[in-house]
Chains A and B, each alone.
Chain A
Amino acid sequence: MIWNAVRESEAPEKRRTRQLADLKDLVARLYNRVPFYKERFDAQGVKPSDIQSLEDIAKIPFTTKDDLRETYPYGLLASGEEEIVEVHTSSGTTGTPVVDAYTQNDMDIWAEVMARCLMMAGAERGDVIQNGYGYGLFTGGLGVHYGAHNIGCNIIPVGGGNTERQLQLMRDFESTVLTCTPSYSLYMTEVAKEMGLEMADLKLKSGIFGAEPWSDNMRREIEEKMYLTAYDIYGLTEIIGPGVSNECSEHNGLHINEDHFYPEIINPETGEVLPDGEKGELVFTTLTKTGTPILRYRTRDITWLERGECACGRNLVRMHRLLGRTDDMMIIRGVNVFPSQIENILMEIEETQPHYQIVIDRGQSHLDDVELRVEVEPQFFSDETKQLERISQKIATAMKNKLGVNLQIKLVEPKSIERSMGKAKRVIDKRTL
């Protein structure tokens, strides 16, 4: 089912006309109300009246995460403070948090786009949604919550953690849709096994997974172990939280709610806008928000866009599953490596678990030493060192062949790598440069 067929399947020309009208309105509003944007426009010699087509968006300066931090907490507010009804911030683990302040208009948009996303993943009225995303300042929990209520689903607001109880609730209330991070879902299957709970006996039909990068191989593993269909969801606090885009039943990219969040792909080095199909950094402009709308926000996520009718009936532009982040990208001895690549390679090797950790250090030789800690599958544990060394060697060879760098492989005990309730800590960078 499609939540809002009028918008999600709208004729492209009609959609573009509205996008342009909303963009012009947004630019004028921000230029007049937010000194930060006025200064940026003036410095570039750009006036709101210069925006006459959607392509003119390229004239608008980018907004970065640093800009958001420097204007913390309310420097980018475009409405009156009294119009704000809810505030969310990012975790702030890597610096000052960034703020999303929502007016009632923004809350309505959020409930709308999340309802669309949940429905793309098969949720309908009558479904029981078990929400394993954290509630609170993190947008994940409440975003799903508002969308579920908008559809009229029964939502179980369990939040993250408490895994045994999660599984009991899932069984007792016959949850049909699970929302959580992909790594946490795999952890759940391990706990279920220990509890003697058969995932096959549960009623789950869909899992909506996001908030951290994952691969198609991981999707297959989750689907096999959890007996559900896995859907990728994408969003970020700076834009609205979850609800920016979601996979549909075709699993051919994530439909972006582009009538609200206008996407572009740019060359991360030059800022040049790239045509559809080319890989680059994803940039968003929130066309319709009124609290803290944002112009050309650089997400640092790397993907590409694809347009056209989708067999699901929508024609919203699709973004490919994330390839990585411009800031997650590790440069190891001069070679660009994304954690998702490592995960994909490990998934091809049956003797290991997809649980891994990368530790980068700069050794005495002043070269980057990368240790890849990988869990051994218990069934492949052998009493002979040469068998285990063969596994190590197999991983090292696969990494060398596919990434072009030598990694030191360290086999570790099953379940010894910390399981995350939220975002998995995959990379530990000890380099002091």
Chain B
Amino acid sequence: MKVTQISVFMENKNGRLAEITKLLASKKISLRAVTIADTADFGILRLIVKEPDRTRDVLLEAGFTARETDVLAVAMEDKPGALADVMELFEKNNVNIEYLYSILAGKGDKADIVFRVEDLERGQILLKQNGYNRPLDL
């Protein structure tokens, strides 16, 4: 299913991440997924939260550079080969993946993975047609 990811531009300097997490904590924003893509000079913090619009506004108001991006969150069986099946599906149908990461500790026997794909609509239809349609519990 389609979810909204928040990404935040971070210069590589001391305390920047701590500032962001502190800010989010003070606004009682709970993180469902968090990951950082980093290069030598900067990092991009990516977050999945329950209220993306509010989170983005909180960050922008505090002077951070943040934006929303639609991504696909896929709930799958927590067993070997589950991710491989989804990857194969995407590969066969030429859905390019920009990056992926997992959602924090899912419940029961399900594992949740976030996919950033080039063609979101196509990816979404494909997942639905193949039974990956359990709603994500945020």
Contacts and interface: CB of A to CB of B under 8 A. Distances in A.
Interface of A: 376, 378, 381-385, 388-389, 392, 409-416
A383 B46 contact: yes
A122 B18 CA distance: 52
B42 A388 contact: yes
A412 to B, nearest CB: 5
7 A-B pairs with least C-beta separation: A383-B7, A383-B69, A385-B37, A381-B65, A410-B41, A381-B9, A378-B65
B61 to A, nearest CB: 11
A414 B65 contact: yes
A383 B44 contact: yes
Contacts of A413: 9-11, 64-65
A378 B99 CA distance: 22
Interface residues of B, number: 21
Contacts of A385: 37-39, 44
A381 B38 CA distance: 14
Interface of B: 5, 7, 9-11, 37-39, 41-42, 44, 46, 63-67, 69, 98-99, 116
B63 A415 contact: yes
16 contacts: A376-B9, A381-B7, A383-B44, A384-B37, A384-B44, A384-B99, A384-B116, A385-B37, A385-B39, A388-B9, A388-B39, A392-B41, A410-B42, A411-B9, A413-B10, A416-B11
Contacts of B44: 382-385, 388
Contacts of B69: 383
A381 B43 CA distance: 12
Given A384-B99, A410-B41, 4 more contacts: A376-B65, A383-B67, A384-B44, A413-B11
A416 B42 CA distance: 14
B101 to A, nearest CB: 12
A234 B26 CA distance: 50
Contacts of A383: 5, 7, 44, 46, 67, 69, 116
A381 B37 CA distance: 14
- Residue of A385, A409, A410, A411 with most chain B CB atoms under a 10 A cut-off: A385
Contacts of B67: 381-383
B11 A412 contact: yes
Given A376-B65, A383-B67, A383-B69, A411 B5 contact: no
Nearest to B68: A383
